[in-house]
Structure 1
Amino acid sequence: MRSDQRTERTFTERARRAQILDAAVDVLAERGYNGASLSAIAERIGVSKGVISYHFAGKDELLREVVSSVLADSRDYMGPRVESATSYAAALHAYVQSNLEFLDQNRHRIVALIEVVNGTPPDRPAPYGPGHRNAVRSLTGMLERGQQSGEFGKFDPHFVAVALRAAIDACSELLRDDPEADVKAYGAQVLEIFERGVRP
């Protein structure tokens, strides 16, 4: 096979995988975890179930990839905003604000993610587990550095990180229950509570 043929095949395969992921998001958001069968996803884009099986080993792998893609895009959106902050207080503000902005701008995908997280049977690896632990670890580190700098007061940074992540993740559940939820108003309340709580 010529190099240009391999490149074209790789491009085509990436495009097909992206199409399948988009279809999975749509079906998850509309029918929930139990309704997101490979057959239903294949039907959404007018292909055979075998086409999906060619790109993904099964439903578990496909839906885990849905979660991974949403989390990766979230990190790409938040990262530059948090890293450009000139103080730890500003970084905390950017962390919460950018996270909730991403949820607000990606409601459909967030509902799909929550369906996967809530629907995955307990005997299978939690699709959001590693991402959640990494987020808590990173946030804990930022809070610790803020304390060391004197910008933040005395509190347990791990517990506060867990609580803040829980407050942000609760917004995802809110969107699942109410697609028209006011994320900006919710975010303003979360910021007010936690910014007040970390002050010296």
Structure 2
Amino acid sequence: MRPENNPGGQKVRSFIETARRAQIVASAIEVIAEQGFANASLARIAQHAGISKGVISYHFAGKDELMEEVVTQVYAEAVQHVLARIEGLESATELLRTQIIASAEHMRDHPAQVKALGEIFYNLRLPDGRPRYGIDTSEELLQSLENIYRFGQESGEFRPFDVRVMAVSHSAAVDSMFAYWTAYPEHDLEAHAHELADLFEHAARTQEAPHS
């Protein structure tokens, strides 16, 4: 039986169902990272997970829905890691630097996730052929970055500038860092993240702000 709906219309999943979905997502990440998006069929993912294809079809309407769940879970894990690292920080400069460095820390420990995300972002399409994921699906992230830069301006740490422009540039730079590291795994991701943090701190701060 499929999960019953709760009064709000949302499906209530049991612990076993939640664990099974997580298992399928984990296998999807590994298969995509190893064989690419095009070769990551539901049959291959099921084989990797040690289950039947029908089990995947029970939990997901199709490959597109599974790919969306991969993105959702990967980002949720990354956000949890970053939030844990920024907890208790009081300055915008610390928040800015830690957001970049903690993101790199998490992805450094999860290279298959980075590779899988790149494959999904490049290949997953809407019915009209447009990419499923793009700048127009990044609003929540951009707003969170804007909040950091706006906080810095209000505290006097950062100079006046358009926070949307800075947030878009920040997001694009982090994405490019991960794309470069995926192409060149020997690249020092930690050093890159620290350089990037330096770059955006210098770009944002006022003349009077102390060096970190």
Q: Does 1:179 align with 2:185?
A: yes
User: Is the 2:149–2:158 Cα contact (8 Å) retained in structure 1?
Assistant: yes
Q: What letter matches 1:55 in structure 2?
A: H
SS at match of 2:138: helix
1:58 and 1:128 mapped to 2: Cα distance? 21
Residue type of the alignment partner of 2:31: V
The aligned residue for residue 188 of structure 1 is 194
Query: Hey, what does 2:100 align to over in structure 1?
Result: 96
Q: 1:105 aligns with which of 98, 103, 109?
A: 109
Q: Aligned equivalents of 2:81 and 2:49: distance in 1?
A: 28
**Aligned pairs, how many?**
193
* Matched ranges for 1:104-143 at <5 A: 104-121=108-125, 123=129, 126-127=132-133, 132-143=138-149
1:149 aligns with 2:155: yes
Is residue 70 from structure 1 mapped to residue 86 from structure 2 by the alignment? no
Identical aligned residues as a percent: 38
Query: Is the CA contact 1:67–1:127 (under 8 Å) kept in the aligned structure 2?
Result: no
Q: Secondary structure at the match of 2:37?
A: helix
Deviations 1:44-101 (A, max 9, x none): 1232211110111100010100000011011111113224212111111111111111
Q: Could you tell me the TM-score, scaled by structure 2's length? A: 0.84
The structure with the greater share of residues assigned to helix is 1
Aligned-pair distance for 1:129? 5.5
What corresponds to 2:14 in structure 1? 10
Listed as ranges, the gaps of 5+ residues in structure 1 are 1-8
Per the alignment, residue 59 of structure 1 pairs with 63
2:20 aligns to what SS in structure 1? helix
Instruction: Provide the C-alpha distance between the structure 1 equivalents of 2:75 and 2:35, rounded to a whole number of angstroms.
Output: 21
Tell whether the 8 Å contact from 1:107 to 1:175 is kept in structure 2 after alignment: no
* 2:80 partner amino acid: D
- TM-score, normalised on structure 1? 0.89
Distance 2:26 2:134 in 1: 19
Give 2:166's aligned residue.
160
Q: Deviations over 1:93-145 (max 9, x none)?
A: 11111111112121111111111111112536624667622111111122112
Q: Which amino acid aligns with 1:157?
A: V
Q: Indicate conservation of the 8 Å contact 2:149/2:163, yes or no.
A: yes
Counterpart amino acid of residue 99 in structure 2:
Y
When the two chains are superposed, the root-mean-square deviation of aligned CA atoms in Å is 2.0
Stretch deviating more after TM superposition (173-182 or 96-105): 173-182
Give runs of ≥4 in structure 1 deviating > 6 Å: none
Query: For the Cα contact (< 8 Å) 1:25–1:109, is it kept in 2?
Result: yes
